[in-house]
Amino acid sequence: MTRRAGIFLRAFAGWTVFVWAIFIRNMAKDHTHSAGFKAVHIGLAVISLAFAVGCLVVVSRARRQSGAAALRSDPGERVPAGR
């Protein structure tokens, strides 16, 4: 994974966490909707938060693996253009 792609996905995950955390806070303070409505929407928010955490884990592992591979490779070795 490229550094640029990693930064983009980390920013995406961070924004997702921010938006859904605010949503959960606002939904918890809301007294105009039923408990069922709140439960369903907070459940959807939790699922989105889990996807964001999963995205961060995947990016971290991919970046760590690509960094370790770069350290193991010969500095004089040429990497094919498609990699």
pLDDT digits (tens, 9 = 90+) for 24-79: 999 999 999 999 999 999 999 999 999 999 999 999 999 888 776 666 665 555 65
Distance of CA 14 to the CA centre of its chain: 7
Q: What is the 3-state secondary structure (H, E, C) of 10-76?
A: HHHHHHHHHHHHHHHHHHHHCCCCCHHHHHHHHHHHHHHHHHHHHHHHHHHHHHHHHHHHHHHCCCC
> How many other CB atoms sit within 10 Å of the CB of residue 6?
16
Q: What is the pTM of this model?
A: 0.72
